[in-house]
Amino acid sequence: MPVSTNDLKNGMTLDLAEGLFTVVEFQHVKPGKGGAFVRTKLKNLRTGAVVDRTYRADEKLEQAIIDKREMQFLYRDGEDYVFMDSTSYEQLQVPRTALGDAASYLKEGHAVYLQMHGSDIVGVDLPAAVELTVAETEPGVQGDRVSGARKPATLETGLVVQVPLFVNPGDTIRVDTRTGEYLTRA
């Protein structure tokens, strides 16, 4: 679906020759002489690379239609992750590579939104924080109360985060999905 560069919005997805890109920011520029143009910062959905592009004002670009589907993560099948569509109950096998970093936060039964372009998964919308159980970490030592001291902990999904010294194996903690940092004990 063609869209004018004058109608760009942050978060809009464009289907360019190099692949799918999301508009991170844009700026309309009207110099004293010469034609107006639009300076953009675009993020590649596949690689995460950010590129700067300049377009003439009112140049036509192809907008990609992204369908967000609510899915429930059921289980892992080898290297694939099996999801169920919450409305049609249709099951979908997704390779770990298509999920990117989001795979580290998925726990059986969790609901997520998969961003689909045709049949390709181009992104995963996770909740801001998820609760995961600590699989292994060094036990806290009594009396070791250094303020702000951290230790690594491996979670049930295989993700490793830095946690305070008082967190023990079997504890459930909240992790920020945007930064991958420990928030609090659940």
Residue-level pLDDT at 4 = 86
Residue-level pLDDT at 146 = 63
Listed residue (102, 141, 137) closest to 123, CA to CA: 102
In tens, the pLDDT along 3-38 reads 888 888 888 888 888 888 888 899 988 888 888 898
Whether the domain at 67-125 and the domain at 129-185 fall into the same CATH topology: yes
Q: Which two tokens stand for residue 134?
A: 């600590």
In tens, the pLDDT along 91-131 reads 888 888 788 788 888 888 888 888 888 777 888 888 888 88
Name the amino acid, one letter, at 121.
I
Is the whole-model pTM more than 0.85?
no
**Is the model's pLDDT at 65 over the cut of 80?**
yes
Domain spans in the chain, listed from the N-terminal domain onward: 2-62, 67-125, 129-185
181 Cα distance to chain centroid:
15
Q: Is the dihedral of CA 138, 133, 145, 149 positive or negative?
A: positive
Give the DSSP per-residue string, the chain: -EEEGGG--TT-EEEETTEEEEEEEEEEE--SSS--EEEEEEEETTT--EEEEEEETT-EEEBPPPEEEEEEEEEEETTEEEEEETTT--EEEEEHHHHGGGGGG--TT-EEEEEEETTEEEEEE--SEEEEEEEEEPPPPTT---TT-EEEEEETTS-EEEEETT--TT-EEEEETTT--EEEE-
d(CA 86, CA 92): 11
67-125: CATH superfamily? Nucleic acid-binding proteins (2.40.50.140)
In tens, the pLDDT along 77-91 reads 888 889 898 888 888
Q: Which CATH architecture describes the domain 2-62? A: Roll (2.30)
The reply to whether CATH 2.40.50.140 applies to domain 129-185 is yes
Q: Report how far apart, in Å, the C-alpha atoms of 134 and of each of 49, 62, 163, 182 are.
A: 32, 45, 10, 11
Average pLDDT, the chain: 84
Contact of 38 with 30, CB cutoff 8 Å: no
**Is the model's pLDDT at 48 over the cut of 80?**
no
